[in-house]
Every structure is written in structure tokens, then in C-alpha cells.
Chains A and B, each alone.
Chain A
């Protein structure tokens, strides 16, 4: 077997031989090949990600762990992370999305946290082709099918449509869980003498691809040549969650790791590496669904399995709990003090590698980087008449990315666990947390903006999540990110990745919100297309118990509408992607953002407003319509015509819409003094947008009423 077959290049091969002092055998080579793959080792991005600020006053732990943790109270923490499952969702949309949800839930569970909420960022192709429709429908079904059954509410998300995702759909699954801080679980605390236990499903060939297909499989009647996709069982996962949390309460778990990509191998090597120890694994003791070779056992991605490290004397209690919940388990090895990862089969040593090789010392990759030279067309910014504005708004609102998504989120149970105050369809998600306060989460992405300028664009995406938290009145605690990019081996694409991470780091530092966890997904491209740079960011914040906060949706007829902030130019906006970008370039302005967030927090705390929301995709006119249309309300606006496109439809600057009693507009203006502030109209009881010059009938806009897929 030669190194190329497992994805190692010349440099990596030489490095490996150097560290081992010999050539690896086949099993060892396969193990290293997977652990040094981009997906497991982050070799292309490790150095970049090191630039992200990870510390903050709310941060409890999490560096290098499965998920980041922020403090909710003296006793409680919130573990959260977002992860991608893009390539599997392209191949098998239902199972890919389902197992994506299952995987991130297990990551949160591995911290000792009970999962309390999920959100999903979906990027789909825009066409009506049967294949595109199939992917969209099945991904949504898969998320619902898994999330609902496992009892974790799906309380928000975002959905973006663009042709670049037609063959490369993206599914980013976010999960958050509550953990008792004195019962925090880790992968760092394994000590020599402890037992290594596999708990959960039997191991099969899930996730093992192509060339490995044993010839016996192909003889099966009618079996297709598709690689073995991972099949998820949410019922089994629910049992696993309950069993693990019970074991945690009993103090049985010393360290825990979820078995995700490269399953047993990556979880066991990570535990050993982070604990600074060695590990012996007997592959003949692992419960299997079918006969498998050792390398298949280690690389299998069978779902619903956890790796648990426990003291030998706790095995009986583990056994009792596993039996209660109907889960299989096996004692497959032990933690040692050798610093070596050793694999045994029937007592024979068949592989040994320094733990550091598998766990972290893979050579980092430095790809060449150069800015793109493609032309970036710009046109002059137009001044629009009210009629033109109405027409353009109508076109914008019929874009899938702006349409009502209730067909998606009504397939998700958003209410189980009795915490949901603001569910899907709102600009933020909010959960009531007894004795703690209100947890507020915002998920954002803007690939059009990041395509135009990955540095400022990514900073602005991060800022937009923090604006949303600020308008709600939540103090930001931390953020997580998923970097969805095409191949890093093309120099301008690597440049975009670099600049994006740098932009994220900049925003996180300037706005004082650390990046506590995250995920990278590269190589999202196909022969015919590649995706735009698509970083996705989720920020989490808290409204302390007893403090005032601001909801977006209790809007009465007669309320005055006030707009704060402004945008210039349509570069990077959805409008710009439709009609051509024009006007000034986007620029992240830290001071402006800080002032916005400060004023927004004061506004929320004051209780002055009836409702409020940040301006998001489509610009403020779109955001306003999306607030009013579901309530069968409209507005009469007082705008100067003609008006610049950028003002009406731009997305670059921090902006919010507030609904307030007319007699309190001045008070609100006082809070925002020194910042752009404009009363722009009043809420009416008829579903019409009166632009003062022409009218737009909102109940006509079918896209706002929800379309089936």
C-alpha cells in the first residue's frame, strides 16, 4: 500500500517516517492517513484558527475540547458548537442532515451537557430541478426526523439559496446544552489504569467509502455502488443521551468523547493525546454488526456511539445503566502511561504509533495565497423613485432567500423542553432559563458579502449576530463558527479563507466576543461549481433574570416606526447580487458597531419600545415587510424620494427598526442621540406598504405566505 492511497503527500510521508523511525505497516498507514486528513487534522487551517481570540470573561473552558463553554450562573454553563455535514448531505440528503444533527448533539453530550436547543444553517441551490427540490425537502425532513425524535427542540436557523450550492449544499448544525460546572466532562482527564469503554451502537461499515467495498457486498441483490453512508437512529441516541447523563450524575464518567469522523480512532487518540497518556485498544472486543478488518473498525463512522473512560471499579454501575437503557457496551482497552497508541487483535500487537502523531502533531499545510484577479463590476448607485423601489422590493421579496420559511420550521418540534420564547421565524431565538434569565442566539451568514470582500464581509457577519443580540438586550458571551469554503489548494481561494478568518478575529476582538468553538469544511466544490466563501456564525448571549429585553413581534397598529443607522451602497447585499452592486464598498467599522450595540442594549433595558429587530438580509425595507406581513399589518412610510438604492436596500451598516408609541419617539431619539435616527412612518392595519407615491400590496406577495419547498 502506498501513501498516496491514504491521502498522504510526499512531505507528509517523509515526516511520518522520520517520527516513527521506520515505515508504518498497512494498518498504521491507514490510521495516519485518516487522522492527517483535512477533516480530522485541520492541517490547512490550524495556523489560521490560532488567530481567533478564545478567552473572555464569560468563557469557562473549551479550548481544544468538543465545544466551547460559557458561564450562565455560578452553577451552570452552556456548551455550544456548530458543525458541518456538507458532503454527506449532497450524497444522501436525509441521512446526511440527520446524522449531522446527531453528531453535534453528541459533541455537546460529550461535555456532560444536556442538549437543550438546535439550529440549522442551510445553503441550497435555487433551481426547480427535481434534484434540487429533492435535496431541499430531504435535508429538512432529515433534520426534523432526527431532532424531533431525540427530543431536542429546533428553535431557529437560516436558509440561503444560490446556484453555487446546487451541487454543493451545505448543512451546518448548531447545538447548545446546559452543563453543571462541577460536573463538566472532558477528554483531558483520562489517567493510566482507567478502562476504555465503547457505549452504544454496534460498529458497522457506515462511512467507509468506495475502494474498501468488500467484493461480497457487491454480490448483494440489487445493492447499489453508493459508498456506505452513515445511517442515524435518533431513538438509540435518545437512549444514549439519557444513559450518559445518568452515568455522569453517578460520577462514573472520568472522560468522554463522542465518536464522530473516523469514529473510534479519532475519539480514542484524542482522549489519549489530551490526557497526555497512551492507550491500548483490543479491536476484537469491539461489538460489531458484521465481520470487519481492524482498519475498518477504527475508521467506521457508525452513529450513536460514545467513548467513555471509567475506573475499573465503576464497570458494574456502567453495565447496570447500559442495561436499563437497552444499550450495548464493551470494555475494549485501557489508558496507559506509555504515550503510545497500541492496537491488539487476539492479544497480538498489530499497530503502534506515538499518540502525538495521531492526536495533534500532523504537519500543518501552508497553501499558496494570492488575491483573486477576477473583475468586480460596480455600477453607479441609482436614485430610485417610489415606483422603482416598490418594483425592486417586490423582486427582492420573491427571492427564496427572503421568503417565508414556515414550510421548513413547522416540520421541527420547536417547543419541547418548555423553554422556547422566540422560536424559528424570528430574527433571534430566545429560551427562558429558570433562575438564570433569557438565552438569546443569533445565526448569520452572508456569502454574497464574503465573496465581495472576505475580510470585511466576515467581520460584518460576526457583527450582525452581535447587533441582533444587542437589539434584543442580551449580553454577548461567545460565538461559534463554521467556515464553509471550497478547496484551499487554489491560491485565491486560500487567500479568501485566510482573509475570512482574519476578519472574524478582528470583529471578535473589537466587539469583545471570543470564538469559543468552531468547525471547518473545505473542498465544497464539484467539477462544475464551487461555493462562495460561506462562513456561518452563531453568537450566544444572555439577558440576566429580571432585566428588560426586547422582542420583535408584538407590534400594534398605530405604532411609530423608527429606523436607526444607515447603509450606503449595495455591495455585498442580496439586492446587489440581483441588480448589480453599486456605491461604496463594505467596511467593518468597529467603533460604529460598539456604539450601536451600546445604544441598542440601553433601548432594550429601558422598556421604551413595543418591539424591535435588527435589519438583516434585504435591507431595512425587506426587514420591515417581514415583520409586518405575518401579522397582516402594513405601514405608511414617510421617505424622501428619489432615494439612493443603498439607503433602502444596503446591508453593510448596523441598523435596527424600532416600534414605539408615537409620543415616546423623542425619548427613543434621546437614547440614540449622536447616531443616525429617523422616524419613518407608522404601522397600519391594512396589509399594504404605502411608500408615499405608490403602494405595495403585501398580501399579494405569495412568497411571504410560505411556499412548499
Chain B
């Protein structure tokens, strides 16, 4: 797998994503936000952190970065794009995904491991999971409350575009730690190639520090690329 990880001013998890991807054998290139083009790659990752300090709105200014033109084009041509945490916020601000991430219900930053249910497995990112599987990913954010107006929310659910949903350890529904509507933790675009998620899969990859559900996500991407004959 060839991956490009974008670094915006204030991105913190770009290095972590690189480490996680390299641990499964991917070739990774770091791309500065001011570049006009992307290197040849299968997957573009917009990492977590505090691009532009989260000033104005999280992800708002990063969404206007020069590199985003190339990211949009990559997505238009069917390339894979993954937005993690701040990356998810940037995807919604840029219009690649529909929705907004508001400030957490309790107005506080939350960092902890949490359980999510894998709602859909026929995606490039989740094909190695089992539908309904409960996995653990860490969350660390202040603005993760997913929002859409009711009509759009119904449409999102109706077209099966929720990929991860916050849940209790046994998979039953429970309130999202950040108050996200419909407990939505991650969604995919209509075309199925752009995924945004608040939890951090790169933090659940290295065996030395914890869980490896993140590894399953990276391997899913690899498998999809292979089967699509893109290698």
C-alpha cells in the first residue's frame, strides 16, 4: 500500500499515523499542506491534531489549504481518503463528507478508550471486520459531536453510510461520550471511498502500547487495494 499523510500547521498525529502504517508494511510519504499535488498513492490520510489551533472552527482553515485541491481530486477519481479526528473535521469542512463536528456535550476534552460497533463491513476500510463486531479505539477530542439536520441524518442512515457507532462494551447502545447524534463515530461518503472517524485507529495498532483493532483497519485497506487490482 502507498499512503500519503498530510501535515497541516498544528497537526499532531501525522507522525503517529506514519508509524502505524509503516508497522503494517505500507510505504508512507509525508505531504506538507502547501504542496499543490499528491504523490502517487492509494490512500490519503488527514491526521488528528489541532490544525491552526482549532481556531475559528476545528478544521475550517485546514480545509482551505492548497493541498486540499489535490485531495478532492484524488477522491473524485476514486482514491481512498481517511480523515481521523481533526482529519474528519477537515473532511466535513471541505465538503468531502456531509456533516459537522460540534463541541462535546459536556464542553470538555475527553481522552479515553471507547467501544465502537462496526456497522458496515463492505467498505475499503472495514472489510476484515465482522458486521456488528465491537472494537476498542481511543478517542481524544473536544469537538466530536457529530451533527446533521434530521432530514440529512435520516438520509445518511437510510443509505447505510454510518460505519462506526459508539456502544457499550457488549455492543448494546449507550450514550456517545461526546453526545454525537445517533451515536455516530464514523461515516463514509456515498461513493464509499472517503471515510471520516473521530476515534484514532493509529493509536490501536502497535502491540507494545495496546490494542490492535487499528491494524485490522489498515489491513482491510491493503486487501481492498489488492482485490481491486491496484497494486
Q: Which residues of A from 367 to 419 have beta carbons under 8 Å from B?
A: 409-419
Interface flag for B191 (CB, 8 Å) = no
Instruction: Find out whether the CB atom of A234 lies under 8 angstroms from the CB atom of B209.
Output: no
**Chain B residues whose C-beta falls within 8 Å of the C-beta of A324 in the assembled complex:** 32
Instruction: Find out whether the CB atom of B16 lies under 8 angstroms from the CB atom of A235.
Output: no
Interface flag for B9 (CB, 8 Å) = yes
Instruction: Find out whether the CB atom of A411 lies under 8 angstroms from the CB atom of B10.
Output: no
Instruction: Find out whether the CB atom of A234 lies under 8 angstroms from the CB atom of B111.
Output: no
**In the complex, which range does the number of interface residues on chain A fall in?**
20 to 34
CB distance from A338 to the nearest CB of B (A): 40
**Chain B residues whose C-beta falls within 8 Å of the C-beta of A417 in the assembled complex:** 15-16
**What 0/1 readout, one digit per residue, does chain B (16-35) give for beta carbons within 8 Å of chain A?**
10011000000000001000
Q: Which of A143-151, A216-224, A343-351 faces chain B?
A: A143-151
**Chain A residues whose C-beta falls within 8 Å of the C-beta of B140 in the assembled complex:** 148, 413, 415-416
**Chain B residues whose C-beta falls within 8 Å of the C-beta of A412 in the assembled complex:** 109, 111
With both beta carbons as reference points, the residue of chain A lying nearest to B17 in the complex is identified as: A418
The CA-CA distance from A149 to B143 in the complex, in Å, is: 13
**Chain A residues whose C-beta falls within 8 Å of the C-beta of B12 in the assembled complex:** 149-151, 238, 416
Interface flag for B119 (CB, 8 Å) = no
Q: Which of B49-57, B121-129, B157-165, B222-230 faces chain A?
A: B49-57
Q: Which of B37-45, B166-174, B179-187, B200-208 faces chain A?
A: B200-208
Cβ contact of A149, chosen from B13, B50, B108, cutoff 8 A: B50
Instruction: Find out whether the CB atom of B19 lies under 8 angstroms from the CB atom of A238.
Output: no
**What 0/1 readout, one digit per residue, does chain B (124-147) give for beta carbons within 8 Å of chain A?**
000000000000001010100000
With both beta carbons as reference points, the residue of chain B lying nearest to A412 in the complex is identified as: B111
The CA-CA distance from A624 to B196 in the complex, in Å, is: 42
CB distance from A129 to the nearest CB of B (A): 22
Q: Which residues of A from 196 to 219 have beta carbons under 8 Å from B?
A: none
**Chain B residues whose C-beta falls within 8 Å of the C-beta of A235 in the assembled complex:** 9-10, 50, 52-55
Interface flag for A49 (CB, 8 Å) = no
The CA-CA distance from A416 to B52 in the complex, in Å, is: 18
**Chain A residues whose C-beta falls within 8 Å of the C-beta of B112 in the assembled complex:** 410
**Chain B residues whose C-beta falls within 8 Å of the C-beta of A233 in the assembled complex:** 53
Interface flag for A432 (CB, 8 Å) = yes
The CA-CA distance from A233 to B13 in the complex, in Å, is: 19
**What 0/1 readout, one digit per residue, does chain B (188-220) give for beta carbons within 8 Å of chain A?**
000000000000101100101100000000000
Interface flag for B110 (CB, 8 Å) = yes
Interface flag for A325 (CB, 8 Å) = yes
Interface flag for A239 (CB, 8 Å) = yes
CB distance from A201 to the nearest CB of B (A): 13
**Chain B residues whose C-beta falls within 8 Å of the C-beta of A64 in the assembled complex:** none
Q: Which of B12, B19, B110, B208 has the most CB of A within 10 A?
A: B12
The CA-CA distance from A378 to B145 in the complex, in Å, is: 55
Instruction: Find out whether the CB atom of A418 lies under 8 angstroms from the CB atom of B50.
Output: no
Q: Which of B50, B112, B200 has the most CB of A within 10 A?
A: B50
The CA-CA distance from A234 to B49 in the complex, in Å, is: 12
**What 0/1 readout, one digit per residue, does chain A (628-657) give for beta carbons within 8 Å of chain B?**
000000000000000000000000000000
**Chain A residues whose C-beta falls within 8 Å of the C-beta of B203 in the assembled complex:** 415, 418
**Chain B residues whose C-beta falls within 8 Å of the C-beta of A418 in the assembled complex:** 16, 19-20, 202-203, 206, 209
Cβ contact of B111, chosen from A145, A151, A414, cutoff 8 A: A414
Instruction: Find out whether the CB atom of A413 lies under 8 angstroms from the CB atom of B109.
Output: yes
Q: Which of A234, A411, A413 has the most CB of B within 10 A?
A: A413
Known contacts A411-B109, A416-B16, A418-B203: A239-B209 contact under CB 8 Å: no
The CA-CA distance from A417 to B16 in the complex, in Å, is: 6
Known contacts A234-B53, A238-B50, A416-B140: A410-B208 contact under CB 8 Å: no
CB distance from B85 to the nearest CB of A (A): 10
With both beta carbons as reference points, the residue of chain B lying nearest to A438 in the complex is identified as: B208
Interface flag for A500 (CB, 8 Å) = no
CB distance from A470 to the nearest CB of B (A): 23
CB distance from A707 to the nearest CB of B (A): 14
CB distance from B7 to the nearest CB of A (A): 9
**Chain B residues whose C-beta falls within 8 Å of the C-beta of A6 in the assembled complex:** none
Cβ contact of B209, chosen from A151, A410, A413, A419, cutoff 8 A: A419
Known contacts A410-B111, A418-B19: A238-B209 contact under CB 8 Å: no
Interface flag for A421 (CB, 8 Å) = yes
**Chain B residues whose C-beta falls within 8 Å of the C-beta of A151 in the assembled complex:** 12-13, 49-50
Instruction: Find out whether the CB atom of B208 lies under 8 angstroms from the CB atom of A411.
Output: no
With both beta carbons as reference points, the residue of chain A lying nearest to B203 in the complex is identified as: A415
Interface flag for A420 (CB, 8 Å) = yes
Interface flag for A251 (CB, 8 Å) = no
With both beta carbons as reference points, the residue of chain A lying nearest to B32 in the complex is identified as: A324
Known contacts A235-B50, A238-B50, A416-B140: A149-B111 contact under CB 8 Å: no
Q: Which 8 A-B pairs have the closest CB atoms?
A: A235-B53, A151-B12, A149-B50, A413-B140, A432-B208, A411-B109, A418-B16, A413-B111
A-B contact pairs, 23 of them (CB 8 A): A141-B108, A148-B50, A148-B140, A149-B50, A149-B53, A233-B53, A234-B53, A235-B9, A235-B53, A235-B55, A236-B53, A238-B50, A410-B109, A411-B108, A416-B12, A416-B48, A416-B140, A417-B15, A418-B19, A418-B209, A419-B209, A420-B209, A421-B208
Query: With A141-B108, A412-B109 given, can you name 9 additional A-B contacts, CB distance below 8 Å?
Result: A148-B109, A149-B10, A151-B49, A238-B10, A238-B12, A238-B50, A410-B111, A415-B111, A416-B12
